Structure 1
Amino acid sequence: MSNLPTWALRTSVCAVLATLGPQPAFANEVTQLDEIVVTATREATPLAKAPISIGKVNEKTIAETKPTFIGQVLDKIPGVHMTDLGNEQHNLSIRQPMTYSAVYQYLEDGVPIRPVGIFNHNALYEINLPGSDGIEVVKGPASSLYGSNAVGGAVNFTTAAPSAELTWNVAGQLSSEGYRRVDAGLSNSWGDTGLRIAGYSATRGESWQDYNAMDKTGVTARLDHWLSDALLWKSVLTYSKLDTDMPGSLNESDYNARPGYSYQTFTTRQVEALRASTSLAGELNAGGFSSATLYYRDNSTYQLPSYLIFNTGPNSASGRTTDNTFTSLGLSAFHRQQWGDLKLTVGGLIEASPNDQRETNLSIVRDPKTGKYLSYKTGSVRRDYRVDLGNQAVFADANYQITRGLGVNGALRYDRVSYDFTNHLTPSATTGAASQKQSFADVSPKIGFTWDAAKNVFVYGGYSQGFTPPEVGALFSSASVPNLQSASFDQFELGARFSPLAGVKIDAAIYRLDGEDELVNYSIVPGKSEPRNAGKTRHEGIELGLDWALSNQWSTKLAGQYARHVYREYRPSPVENYAGKDIPAAPQWQGTLEIAYKPLTNIRIALETTYLGQYWMDNSNTVEYKGHTLFNLRGEYQQHGWTVWAQALNLSNAHYADIAASSYKGVGAHNGDTQDTYSPGAPRSFFVGIAYAFDGKGAGR
């Protein structure tokens, strides 16, 4: 095969496990000088040389932060903000407002965690973070590599490989606000085979919020087997289960006077998700690398959600339950070949995902004095249908080095998305459309350049396009199916990574992202609406990341952005026109700054501030959320395998909202108690924890 030694062969294979995750522990003998990412090109690339805007949260940052919510580490990436909606529920902002729309692709080892057509903005509660050794975020359209919904960006969690020797760890923590959690992990290798299992169990009882209990379990198992020095067989199983109350939002008066109050007493979300994949990847020919991944998903989500409860009178309300299940079977494969300065990757995907949805109407009793919803009775079945979701794709990516410092790259992907809809009820305005088939075909191009402008100065730029097909709910919710097409998004970006001084790393990017044919829920007449491709938006901004090691004791990290998100066209009814207005929930300024101090090698203290700027709550740009600044203090001490830590989140006990919205249309009187909603943020909270890790050498590490 090759005259290289075994460890070198395995290192080279690990360096190109594009969709298969991080470098396995067998290559630990080699010191990795550069941060490596795989999501940008499906190939291991030094982060400093990635040809598009991408950020990474590495294993060290995760260990230092000890997040109980993924947003606590994702927000450390410039241009990324994850909204905390409680108990791991969330939405996300990457080159988009804080949105619930299907404009992101969530992946595990390069495989989407959900099928196309049934996007869930909360889907990252299906991730088991202890199973990962890093998170990579492509900012802006990545549809040329990852298909539909990868418009604002793609978020990829890379699973951690087994260790070369026996290691295990256990940790426990608790908070002043009722949060309890236990983590555990075990890893070992036997010759050419390695196994790693890691997971956690968390619960929340009584807390600052009246109705907010939660139980969450997550576990990931990864099995690696080297069939030869250059061919890895990897299998991953991830399971998660979440059972949480849904306290909902508050009106203006209650948000200001009693932010821990909740109108809810029975709303719930129950999620169970299983993902399994097995893959082969390696160097099967000279200059080539091949990968094939077979994957399976099984997911069920039952909800009686707070956001589907509507007042119908002083002591009554309506609501509904939703029960959504899907399974998926898919195959993703690619081959990469290099001929001198030209590198070409070709691949494809095929996936089938049967999806069943059932909704039941509820009549609800409401206490007019307290505003609480007390009880409910089950009514008629509102929806009952199946959709057979299909996705087929082919893609190609090419990179050519014109000179030693100048390269060009391009990519093209074709996707076909199909919906085979079967309605088990008689079609109507409420039960949905008649049984039928719909399909959408989209081509996603990308072209760019890279330039080593000077020593420690790397410049990149280019154009990329993404797309989002209509979701199942938009297509089949009414008796008549609207004539919809995929929304498209065109982006131009220019970025640079450079190191002007020793110990200083700067990552900066500027972009403009235009959306076309975006869906608008158009009100034909009061009480009757339909989705239309009637929206155009513009998203433009500057992102800046700074990593500065001032000395062996002091370091600082900054992740910040300035952005504008504007409607170019947006007419949701015959009498409303918001063209030129800022999009709601779109702060112009956002950032995170951390200053860390290590007086000794085994002690770390960090002060972090997070800032979210002012934004409009309504389309008419009349109702304003003022923004907020939070402070977090973290400290830890390590000795002989033991780690003890303490954290104070929201140190100044600021009163703030994780997200705020208003239905006010800019006409008539504004009433904050009937038109505005606030999701209150947690008050000052203290966390303490202890962990022990065994390093496989007969002692703790």
Structure 2
Amino acid sequence: MSAARGRAGNWRGLLLAGAVWLGASAAWGQDVVTVTGDRRGEARDAAIIPAAVIDAAAIQSVGAQHVSELLNRTAGVNINRGNGAEHLTAIRSPVLTGGAGAGSFLYLEDGVPLRAAGFANVNGLFEALTGVAGGIEVVRGPGSALHGSNALHGLINILTPDPAITPSHAELELGSFGRARASGVLARPGDGVSALLAVETQHEDGWREDAGLDRVGVLARADGTAGDVRWQWSASIITLNQETAGYVTGASAYEDRSLSRANANPEAFRDAVAMRMALRMDGEWGSGWSWSLTPYARGNEMDLLMHFLPSQALEESGHTSVGLLVSAARDFAGGRITFGSDFEQTSGFLRETQARPTIFSFVQGDHYDFDVDARVFALYAQTRWQVSESLALQVGLRAEQTRFAYDNHLAADTVGRFLRLGDRDDRYDTLTPHAGVIWRLDADHSLFGRIARGARAPQTTELYRLQAGQEIDAIEPETLDSIEAGYRLSLGDDGRLELTAFSMAKHHVFFRDADGFNVTDGRTRHHGVEAEFDYPLTQAWRIHLAGTWARHTYDFDRPVGTASEVIRKGADIDTAPRWLWDARLVWRPHAAWSGELAWSHTGAYFTDAANAHRYDGHDLLALRLRYAPSERVEFFTAVRNLLNEPYAERADFAFGNERYFPGEPRAITIGIRVAG
């Protein structure tokens, strides 16, 4: 990463893949296999741990300009789009920021975390190659015993494309605001080794001033066998260079298009690079035993101008890791038992420097300069037992230890508002059990339920990037206890209905209040209902609905100096809409034509902790059409925000002002896809 420019040069395995896409009608009605629940694959309707599935055809048909376009089509998920590739995530949660936003969701690629547990990035999905992915799986609520720290509110697993079944192709799309998106896949299936090379690139000038984006990702994958051992090797690199636009302020400022296009922070940027490599090996031995071994390595760096603070400081951060995932499973009469161990060693760094003169308590010069060595070791066991033909149980337990060794390169004292600790070691232990059941009433009806605990170790920035008056010793791992129950109904060959109700309690919630002090003993509650409905109206028309009603509340009191941020037990957490809806009417009159009219609804939500200010929500329409004159060529177009609705991607009240990330006006793209 070069610093010459002042910068460096993120339920339903159960959620129907067929309902999310707009492409080959042959996929409708096929059974879907998920891998997130047990890393080996299981039919979605037999899964006790529900996982949403978005398949490769859906990814192709959506042609997402931002990952939120894909993930927000599933119930319980609300990705707030920021500038360029930036985003904030909500999965059965409010939209979370800071360390909570970074550490409450686990982002994976083929089951391997994109980042180390204590070094998460709130924009972590920009490091995923979603445009050429072979699929995406989403678990809402805590992960299983196989998933470690950060799988608190949920997890997202990006699946790389299988070279044996992925066709070669090239795709080009152009559109409003200087957009250009290109991707290509070169696949070579083989009897011994199958290989694939995929590239995705994205450029946009940005609809706001000085808010351009350039992003490039390259993925290589090869699969094969060596004797009785099956292996899968993959490597990828992603680079991001973007100019960043901040909030616009003032009551309903997002409705003013000229104000929304303006950028008060033209100097802001975020530049990053991420690399990773993994080798998975699978085999069998003995009577009914199978094993899996996955060594991996990763590295990333990022430079960020902190335009959202008076300091305008430059943050430089990164980490490198090596790790090993090991598991062994044995099938027995009526079930399977899995044992495993995860190990990871990480070296990370963070530097923060203010070049501009001292302003308030933001002093010129070095704020922080430290390294952190981290080690994570986990043991787990999970078993599934088929009690009878209609009843199955699953139980799992994970024990995980996280150690941090912090090395401060500056004087251990307080400078302005910045507290720099002396060198120290910290250790966090978590124990996360879960148990679930599925009861098939008959061929078309089933009930399922699960209780689980999720946990996350503190992020290194929460521990060692402190401000004056803050303390570290009271910080504990966050835990979330969850209970859920649901009903699945098969409607003919390929129609489905699924309802899920959940209730969750979160403890040791860590955040900084409006007075700038650490809150280490916060508590929140989360409960709601999620619905998925997918049904073929006729051979040419299909409807899909995904809806969520949820309430996320504080479970403690916290008086602070700023009236708008006083926390009261029972009050709604800010940026937590109670209603989220996504509906799609899919049209496919014959093989050459397909189309989709999509409606998304974000309900009203409070923008401050005291529930004194609110955003009224919004409704958006999008239209997509595809025409394939031959088997090799396909033309496509999309109109986003069809009615040109003024809206806010994110609304907030802070520092005495209403402020917004304004949503993009109507945008049109056209493209072509050519099969190899």
Q: Quick check: TM above 0.5?
A: yes
> Could you tell me whether the CA contact under 8 Å between 2:60 and 2:131 is conserved in 1?
no
1:517 and 2:516 matched: no
Distance change (3 Å), C-alpha of 1:577 and 1:189: closer
User: 1:395 & 1:160 partners in 2: Cα distance?
Assistant: 28
How far did 1:164 drift? Answer: 6.0
3-state SS, counterpart of residue 475 of structure 1: helix
- What are the within-5 Å matches in structure 2 for residues 313-324 of structure 1? 318-324=311-317
User: 1:199 aligns to what?
Assistant: 199
User: 1:437 & 1:247 partners in 2: Cα distance?
Assistant: 38
The code of the aligned residue for 1:451 comes to W
User: 1:406 aligns to what?
Assistant: 391
3-state SS, counterpart of residue 69 of structure 2: helix
User: 2:297 aligns to what?
Assistant: 296
How far did 1:685 drift? Answer: 0.1
Post-superposition CA distance 1:11-41 (Å, at most 9, x none): xxxxxxxxxxxxxxxxxxx999410101022
1:268 and 2:269 matched: yes
Once the two structures are aligned, what percentage of the paired residues are identical?
Answer: 25
TM-score, structure 1 normalization? 0.87
User: 1:550 aligns to what?
Assistant: 537
Distance change (3 Å), C-alpha of 1:623 and 1:365: same
1:685 and 2:663 matched: no
How far did 1:640 drift? Answer: 2.9
User: 2:402 aligns to what?
Assistant: 417
1:592 and 2:593 matched: no
3-state SS, counterpart of residue 319 of structure 1: coil
Of 424-433 and 342-351, the range deviating more from structure 2: 424-433
Post-superposition CA distance 1:614-672 (Å, at most 9, x none): 000001111010000000000011123101111000000000000111127xxxxxxxx
Post-superposition CA distance 1:78-131 (Å, at most 9, x none): 111211112121111111011122210000011110001122120110011244
User: 1:95 aligns to what?
Assistant: 92
> Could you tell me whether the CA contact under 8 Å between 2:64 and 2:131 is conserved in 1?
no
User: 2:357 & 2:284 partners in 1: Cα distance?
Assistant: 61
Post-superposition CA distance 1:527-577 (Å, at most 9, x none): xx4323221111101011111112221011111100000001141638944
> Could you tell me whether the CA contact under 8 Å between 2:508 and 2:520 is conserved in 1?
yes
The code of the aligned residue for 1:568 comes to D
User: 1:116 aligns to what?
Assistant: 117
User: 1:370 aligns to what?
Assistant: none
3-state SS, counterpart of residue 302 of structure 1: strand
User: 1:5 aligns to what?
Assistant: none
User: 1:645 aligns to what?
Assistant: 636
Q: Which one of 319, 322, 330 corresponds to residue 337 of structure 1?
A: 330
User: 1:566 aligns to what?
Assistant: 553
Of 353-362 and 124-133, the range deviating more from structure 2: 124-133
Post-superposition CA distance 1:220-250 (Å, at most 9, x none): 110111124x531111101100000110111
3-state SS, counterpart of residue 79 of structure 2: strand
User: 2:286 & 2:591 partners in 1: Cα distance?
Assistant: 46
What is the Cα-based RMSD across aligned positions, in Å?
2.1
3-state SS, counterpart of residue 539 of structure 1: strand
Post-superposition CA distance 1:274-293 (Å, at most 9, x none): 01001101333432221110
Of 567-576 and 335-344, the range deviating more from structure 2: 567-576
The code of the aligned residue for 1:395 comes to Y
User: 2:401 & 2:78 partners in 1: Cα distance?
Assistant: 31
> Could you tell me whether the CA contact under 8 Å between 1:282 and 1:291 is conserved in 2?
yes
User: 2:131 & 2:213 partners in 1: Cα distance?
Assistant: 19
> Could you tell me whether the CA contact under 8 Å between 2:350 and 2:369 is conserved in 1?
yes
1:252 and 2:250 matched: yes
Post-superposition CA distance 1:292-318 (Å, at most 9, x none): 1000001001011322x32xxxxxxx3
3-state SS, counterpart of residue 189 of structure 2: strand
Distance change (3 Å), C-alpha of 1:393 and 1:32: farther
User: 1:450 & 1:226 partners in 2: Cα distance?
Assistant: 35
The code of the aligned residue for 2:483 comes to F
> Could you tell me whether the CA contact under 8 Å between 2:357 and 2:364 is conserved in 1?
no
> Could you tell me whether the CA contact under 8 Å between 1:269 and 1:305 is conserved in 2?
no
> Could you tell me whether the CA contact under 8 Å between 1:135 and 1:155 is conserved in 2?
yes
Of 258-267 and 613-622, the range deviating more from structure 2: 258-267
TM-score, structure 2 normalization? 0.90
1:187 and 2:178 matched: no
Distance change (3 Å), C-alpha of 1:683 and 1:621: same
Regions of 4+ moved over 4 Å: none
3-state SS, counterpart of residue 132 of structure 1: coil
User: 1:199 & 1:334 partners in 2: Cα distance?
Assistant: 32
Distance change (3 Å), C-alpha of 1:164 and 1:249: closer
User: 2:627 & 2:161 partners in 1: Cα distance?
Assistant: 24
Distance change (3 Å), C-alpha of 1:501 and 1:640: closer
Distance change (3 Å), C-alpha of 1:509 and 1:32: closer
How far did 1:456 drift? Answer: 1.6
Aligned length: 631
1:357 and 2:350 matched: yes
> Could you tell me whether the CA contact under 8 Å between 1:245 and 1:268 is conserved in 2?
yes
